[in-house]
Amino acid sequence: DADVTQTPRNRITKTGKRIMLECSQTKGHDRMYWYRQDPGLGLRLIYYSFDVKDINKGEISDGYSVSRQAQAKFSLSLESAIPNQTALYFCATSTGGGEGAQYFGPGTRLLVL
């Protein structure tokens, strides 16, 4: 089984809808991240979490919220989806200290109509 899983893998939704993307990991890492990838722009950090009680905004947090339900679970929500949130979303994990490599899930392709 994959160490970092994301559900759903693909999602189509309409403008104004609330949507949640979920991430689970079995690596035992304490740090988790959410990124979005847009064509030609690389990946940009949305939110990150050092542990269940520590949530931090990244570069592009507006329009998003997160929940760290457990060490192994980190969810990303779009409260009211808009078309420019159409992107590929990645969850990642890393070991304590944050100096290790970040390991990414398979990604979720989101299309907002």
Binding site for another protein (CB under 8 A): 31, 33, 35, 40-45, 48, 50, 56, 58-59, 88, 90, 92, 98-104, 106-107
71 vs 103, which CB is nearer to another protein? 103
Q: Which of 16, 90, 30 has its CA nearest to residue 58?
A: 90
The least CB distance from residue 11 to another protein, in Å, is: 15
Q: Cβ(5)–Cβ(90) under 8 Å?
A: no
40 vs 84, which CB is nearer to another protein? 40
Q: Which of 29, 28, 31, 34 has its CA nearest to residue 6?
A: 34
The least CB distance from residue 16 to another protein, in Å, is: 27
The least CB distance from residue 101 to another protein, in Å, is: 5
18 vs 51, which CB is nearer to another protein? 51
50 vs 71, which CB is nearer to another protein? 50
The least CB distance from residue 65 to another protein, in Å, is: 17
